[in-house]
Amino acid sequence: MNEYEIREITRNYPLSLLLDADPDIKKIEKYLNKGRCFGLFLNGTLIAEYVLKANKKEKSAEIVNLSVAEEHRRKGYARILINDALKRSKEEGFKSVRIATGKDSFQQIFYQSCGFEICAVEKDYFPNNYDAPVIDGGIELKDRVCLKKVLE
Ligand SMILES: CC(C)(COP(=O)(O)OP(=O)(O)OC[C@H]1O[C@@H](n2cnc3c(N)ncnc32)[C@H](O)[C@@H]1OP(=O)(O)O)[C@@H](O)C(=O)NCCC(=O)NCCS
């Protein structure tokens, strides 16, 4: 793998990456306001990001957006970002990390392989919370699965 670094982005957010993971710009603006965006820079070029939002009351962090540029997918960068989010959350004193995605998607399986466990399924979350159908891999998403990893 080439040289990469992960650092916080505080302005000029990578909109096309963010929109690839979440087509609702209003939702993105809302969580960018409260959360922190971290970018993975490959030889100086931003190729992936995640947004981490804290729920201080629950001592839990949530990865609310995760995206890798199409031409850099399937090379392990998302796994690197998930591990970065887990490490950062632990260092900051959070007890668990949450993430949500389409039920039965490859993303769900990937998060489970990172140690996340299903804690809830929200029926018809996508049609109920988005103005237009949310399509992933050619399939319309209906139910959302919420996963949680307890930090040891
Ligand atoms: C989901 C996403 C972030 C994965 O990024 P990535 O860098 O390609 O993922 P990785 O290379 O780290 O792969 C992680 C695991 O997922 C699997 N995976 C990745 N893409 C896959 C695909 N299209 N189909 C099936 N499995 C896939 C990989 O095989 C890997 O598992 P393995 O380590 O057991 O082989 C990327 O596809 C993306 O940005 N998609 C659009 C936005 C999105 O869906 N974000 C998540 C919203 S919940």
**In this predicted model, what pLDDT tens digit does every residue of 5-59 receive, in sequence order?**
999 999 999 999 999 999 999 999 999 999 999 999 999 999 999 999 999 888 9
Confidence of residue 115 (pLDDT cuts 50, 70, 90): very high
Q: What is the mean pLDDT of the chain?
A: 97
The per-residue pLDDT for 1 is 60
Among 99, 106, 112, 130, the mutation site with the greatest number of ligand 1 atoms within 8 A of its Cβ is 106
Residue 116 to residue 119: CA distance in whole angstroms:
9
Q: For residue 31, report the distance from its CA to the centre of ligand 1, in Å.
A: 22
Over the stretch 122-136, which tens digit does the pLDDT of each residue have? 999 999 999 999 999
Task: Give mean pLDDT, residues 81-100.
Answer: 98
Strand partners, 4: 42
Nearest by Cα to 68 from 121, 17, 128, 133: 17
> Residues 6 or more apart from 87 whose CB is under 8 A from it?
none
**In this structure, which amino acid lies at residue 125?**
Y
- Residue with the nearest Cα to atom 42 of ligand 1? 21
Confidence of residue 87 (pLDDT cuts 50, 70, 90): very high
Virtual CA dihedral for 26, 125, 99, 39, nearest 10 degrees?
-30
> Residues 6 or more apart from 35 whose CB is under 8 A from it?
51, 52, 53, 54, 64
* pLDDT of residue 98 exceeding 70: yes
The per-residue pLDDT for 133 is 97
Q: For residue 99, report the distance from its CA to the centre of ligand 1, in Å.
A: 14
* pLDDT of residue 2 exceeding 80: no
**In this structure, which amino acid lies at residue 51?**
V
- Cβ(116)–Cβ(99) below 8 Å: yes
Ligand 1 neighbours by CB, cut-off 6 Å: 20-21, 66-68, 73-79, 101, 106-107, 110, 113
Q: What is the domain class of 4-150 according to CATH?
A: alpha beta
CA distances from 2 to 25, 43, 83, 95, 110 (A): 31, 7, 18, 32, 23
The per-residue pLDDT for 26 is 97
